Every structure is written in structure tokens, then in C-alpha cells.
Amino acid sequence: MSSESKDFISRELSWVDFNGRVLDEAMCKANPLLERMKFIAIFSGNLDEFFMVRVAGLRQLVKMERDLPDPAGNRPSFQLKQLRKKLDRLLKTQTDCLMNDLLPELAGHGVRLVHPAELAPGLRRTMSARFRAQVLPALTPLAVDSAHPFPILSSGAIEISVSMKPAGENKTVYAFVEVPDVLPRFILVTDDADGRCFMLLEELIMDNLAALFSGCEILDCFPFRVTRDMDFSVEDEGVDDLLSSIEKKLLQRRHREPIRLELPFDAQGKLVEWLEKQFDLAPMFLYRNRAPMHLKQFFELIGRAGRPELLEKPWPPIMPGGLEDYGSIFEAISRRGSILVAPPFHAFSPIVRLIEEAAADPEVLAIKQTLYRVSGNSPVVRALQHAAENGKQVTVLVELKARFDEGNNIVWARKLEESGAHVVYGIVGLKVHAKALLVVRREDGAIRRYVHLATGNYNDKTATLYTDLGIMSCDSSLGYDVANLFNVLTGYSSPPAAWNRIAVAPFDLREKVYAMIEREIASSTADNPGHIIAKMNSLSDEDMIKLLHKAADAGVKIELVVRGICCYRPKVGQENVRIISIVDRFLEHSRVFYFRNNGSEELYLSSADLMFRNLSRRIELMFPVDDERLRAVIMKLLAYQLADSDKARRLTASGKYIRPAELEKYTTKRSQQASYDYFCALAEADAKQLSGDALKVYTAPENHDDNKSGI
């Protein structure tokens, strides 16, 4: 049962509400058609991970008889029931949107999904011939009988369940066919003046099962998916070889317990009964839907539709101002001071360039970097390999415990070691989530340190999708702190009693934020209220929320931009508190913290969200932004977000979010568009080298109605 708190919202319930906001974007008619389809796919991908981790965790707590209330007063058993109610509503909305709106509209633009039975006989035979030539060799039927026990089916894969009678026998037997990920999910049937027709791979397979089970009478078949509990933890205390331990855990994932079974809405009969009996899941974890399975894979259809007019116009990434005006990136940083890099508005390439130049520069002595999530073909890792092969002292802390990227990180760690880099596999008991790059360079007979610190990962792929902020700097005190941080990460050094500029979790970051909030409380008066602005992905730390409530009760103005989970429940009448969530074209990923400090303003960027795990169980980094030009830019970005009435949803005391009015097209209040236009204006001003005009662009007063960019 629930005894809901007036101050807190349950974490898992808040996350489902966030994914509901993602789904809202699929229904927003201001978005072009294929952009709406993207949000259908994103919603499903998010939901898969949610089941694998969060739903699995709640069920495990119930099984272990640890059904205790969370800070919001809700027990895991109650949350599971509430989640099912919310998800049933959301999945119906998703299905109705896809099947009744998006796919018919897409067909009107000449891109259709067809079923085998809809094809003319000659075309259907052509598709069968293509199946035998291109698909059949990749399939492996798995029988289930006394000699073949029930197989371990892959989590998340589309499987086809088949019942049949072998030739000359009167008994029913069962088998599975996994729909292989190595083949396209959407099979092109026709591409002509009338448009493009695609068939789902599983439907092509089911239409040709006789070729796979020759001589058998096919009685029934349908596709299904099983999702498994993937939330393994590595208890690395006492583990001699963390790499081997994680490799073993990865191999065990296929054997994890099922947490969800998805079936077609119209599947019935003995085959369904047999399958449900095999998995033995409670009805709460059985899902039926009339939409196709695995909608995350609809990204493939978006890419193959060949309709760029149904997508948003691209926003080509901009080069951070001034970088191209100098012979080297080191000279640019030295001359200009700190440089802001803000992907995806900015290109990610300057970060890669910094490492590449360091790799080739004879004056560079050492490169040190943390890697949490990198892409499958990472230019960052290649640049680090090149540096090691050139004889630089390269030290890379690769976090092997980055969930769902463990295997990828193991591959890159070994490649780096083969190139001669020193690779450190995380820290016992903690995940390293800090984003830091340090280059040690010899200049004029002395040592100079260059750093890049950021809110997001060194991942060139997600840098085109996630908004993040980072700075390149050669500030000596900042460099000194980062050097000490790497000594802590790679050796046995204890953290200093006090850092010069940074704060690091779990050592003092929590205490630093506490102190700054308490300072706002102490200095706040009715005539001169304190002011906190915080932007993050998630807010769930119980003690931090209590302190923010204390600040709100003291009259501090609190403005929070929390994209995802937000467990802070605003109180009725708390007019000085405003909490919004922005879901748009890019995933909002940066963490920014502003404190008015009685007029002596402070601004910080961080890798950390205000969650217990970030503040107490991870190595996280928070660093100040002191350069006035950079501060002006970041504050401008925050102002755009706080003024957004196109994409911002406001959290109310009921725990629900208020949606913006329905839009047919976007206005100048859309913060991501305004931010992109602003960076374009800054780049143009830098290109013209009009320093006075450039300063005006940085510091222009807010007027979001004057023009598109608000500049």
C-alpha cells in the first residue's frame, strides 16, 4: 500500500513519467513525421532498459522480502502494481499513435509496411526465393524435446515460437527460431514510382517456415520477446582480477531470470499456453500488443525510408570560437584562456584534436584520461593508441562497470594495453564517472598542464545526440587539482584535505553542494532572496531533496531543470520553486549548478547528478566556470531553458507534469533552437574578429520575443 509523502516522488514512478514525456514527442505535430517515429523507438529502447534494471530490482526486493517503503512511502510491491497501470496506458498510447497515425501517414508519403498475404502471388514467390538465398542460411531452428531441453533464449531478441507435427507422426512438437540481428529487420519488397514497401523480417521467416522445417505440418507460429534481469552487480571487494570477474558476469547474462514476456495481442491456443508455462511469469509481467515487436529497431526504417523532408533540418555542428585561428590547439587555449565546448551544438572534433596533437607533439610528456562510455570505433581511443605508440606516457582509466558497455570497454582496454598504454580498470568499490583529460606539456623549460573537463562522455556518437558542456583550460590551479585526482585514481594517493578548485565525489562533492545550499539559506531575506539554478538528468538523493525543501521554505528561489527522474515533490503554494523537464531533439545531459551567493555568483559544471549513487558511490567531478565570457554563455543557455514554453513541462504538487499547449509549429521559445542560433551568432562574431560585437552577443539582455535566437 502507499502512504505517499508530500515531499517525495518514488524514483521508478518518476522515471515512467519521464518516458511518458518522451512518448509525448511522438504525438507532437510540430515534429516532422519521422522525428515522431524516432520518439516511438526511443520510448521502447528506454523501456527495455527499465525492465532489465529497475523493474527487475523491484521484483528482487519483493522476492527477498525487503518490501520496505521508499522516501515517498511506497513499497516495491505497490510500485510494481502502479508501474503496470502506468505502462498499460502508455503502451496503448504508443500503439494507437504508431498504428493509427504515424504508419498510415507514412504510407501517404509512399513508405509502407506490407504483410506477406497482401502481396501478389508472383511477388510473394520472389520474396520466398530471396528468403532461401539470403535469410535461410542465417537461421538456426532450436527443437524442444527430451533430447533438446528448453533453450536459453537471448534477452530482447525477437524469437518465433513454432508448433508442428513431424512427418509421419501424430504428436505436437515445439521449436524456436531466433530472428537474427545481423540481417535487416525491414526487408525491401518494392522500390518504384509508387514508393517503398518493406516487410518485417519475422513475417518473411514465418511465411517460409516450411523451408526450415521440411516435411513438417506447421500448426501455429508467432513472434515473441523475453526480457531478462540484467542488473548484475560486481562486488569487487576482494576480487583479484576485476576484468575476469566482469567477463564472467557478462557470460552469465544469458542465464538471468526473465522479467517480461511480450506476445502478439491475438496469439492464443495451445502454443501460447505452452510458452507461458515454460516461462512461468506472473500475469503482471506478461504484455500483449498489436504493434510490431521491438519498436526500438524502427530507427532502421527511419534511415531506410529515403524521405529527408520528413525529418528536421540538420543543425550542422559549429566549431568553438577561435580554435581555427591558431596553429595549434595548445596555442588557442593559451591565448584565449578557457574554451567552451558544447556538443552537439559544437563539433566533438576539438576534443579528438587535442589528443591527436598531444600524440604527435614532441613536447608532450604524458596524457591521462578517464573513459566511461566510448563508441564502437572511437577516434578518442585511436588517438590514445597513437600517443602510446609514439612513446608518450599514456594512462587511461577505463570504467569496466559502465552498465551495458562492459563488453565494449573490455575490448578498448585491451587494445590500449596492446599499444603500450597503462590501463587502470576502475577503483575498488566505486565507479569512475568523472570526465577528465589531462595533457602534460613542456613549455619554455617548465611544465604546463592542459585539461578538458566535461559533463558528458568521450563518445563521438552520443556527442551528436546529447547536450553536454565542457571546458578546455590551462589554468594552473585547475591542472594541479586534476593531476592530483589522477594520482588518487591510478595509485594509492589519498585525496587532499582540500582541493584548490574542484570537488570530487565521494570525498567532498556532496559536502560542497550542501554548503552552498546552506549558504543560500543563511543569506536569503525577503528583500534579497537566495537563488539556486540546477540543471541535471536526475534528482533523487533523499538528503539533498530535504535540504532543497529547507531552502525553499527559507524563501530561496529554486529553479530546477531535471530531464528525467525527479523525486522532489513541490509543495502546494511553494511559488518560489519551479521544476521543469525538457524533452526535445537532443537528450539534455549537461549538469550545471548556479548559486547567487548574495551577489558573488558561482557557477559549476559537473559529471554528477544529485543521486545517492553519484554522490556516494562514484568518482564524480564538479568544477567552477570562472571565465566571464563562458559564464555568460552558460547563463544564457539556462535562461533559454527556463523560458522554454514549447518543450518544457512543469512539475506540480500533484506529482504530474503540465504539458505545453499543442503546437503545429515551434516558436522562438524552443530552447534548443535558440541555443543553436546563439552559438551560430557567437561563431560568426568570432569569425569576424569583432571583439566588441562578440562581447555584446555574449552579454545581450534577455528578450526572447525580439527574434528567433533571443540574441
Half-sphere exposure of 3 (CA within 13 A, CB side): 5
Cα angle: 652, vertex 540, 528; to 5 degrees: 60
The cell 557470460 sits on which residue?
251
Q: Which three cell numbers stand for residue 360?
A: 604527435
Question: Nearest Cα to 175, choosing from 129, 210, 199, 126?
Answer: 210
Let me know if 133 is exposed, middle or buried by CB neighbors in 10 A (0-12, 13-18, 19+): exposed
The CB-side HSE value for 56 (13 A sphere, CA atoms) comes to 19
d(CA 472, CA 452): 4
CA separation for the pair 32, 26 (Å, rounded): 10
**Residues in the chain, total:** 711
User: What distances in angstroms separate CA 58 from CA 29, 51, 233, 259, one per listed residue?
Assistant: 36, 10, 15, 11
Element (H or E) spanning 341, and its range?
A: strand 339-341
Confirm if 506 and 430 have CB atoms less than 8 A apart: yes
Distance in angstroms (rounded) separating the CA atoms of residues 248 and 242 = 10
Asked if 501 contacts 524 with a C-beta cutoff of 8 angstroms, the reply is no
Three-state secondary structure of 190-218: EEECCEEEEEEHHHHHHCCHHHHCCCCEE
Residues 6+ apart with CB under 8 A from 231: 52, 53, 54, 56, 57, 60
Tell me the C-alpha distance between 567 and 538, whole Å.
Answer: 8
Report the DSSP beta bridge partners of residue 592: 535, 605
**598, amino acid identity:** N
DSSP annotation of 292: P
Is 433 considered catalytic here? Answer: yes
Residue 270 vs residues 183, 288, 567, 642: alpha-carbon distances, Å: 30, 16, 45, 56
Element (H, E) at 562: strand 557-562
Query: Exposed/middle/buried for 448, CB within 10 Å: 0-12, 13-18, 19+?
Result: middle
The per-residue b/e assignment along 536-565, b for 16 or more CB within 10 angstroms, e otherwise, is: bbbbbbeebbebbbebbebebbbbbbbbbb
Integer Cα distance of 52 and 598 in angstroms: 46
C-alpha cell recorded at residue 548: 532543497
Q: Pick from 367, 362, 380: which is nearest to 437 by CA?
A: 367
Name the nearest CA neighbour of 81 among 13, 11, 5, 17.
13
Place of cell 529502447: 45
Closest CA to 351 of 376, 378, 315, 385: 378
| 259 phi, psi to nearest 5 deg | -120, -15
Report cis status (omega within 30 of 0) of the bond before 116.
Answer: no
CA distance 73 to 70: 5
- Which of 448, 387, 374, 381 has the alpha carbon at shortest distance from 415? 381
Catalytic residue among 115, 294, 346, 433: 433
What's the grid cell of residue 23? 512518448
Q: Which residues are catalytic?
A: 433
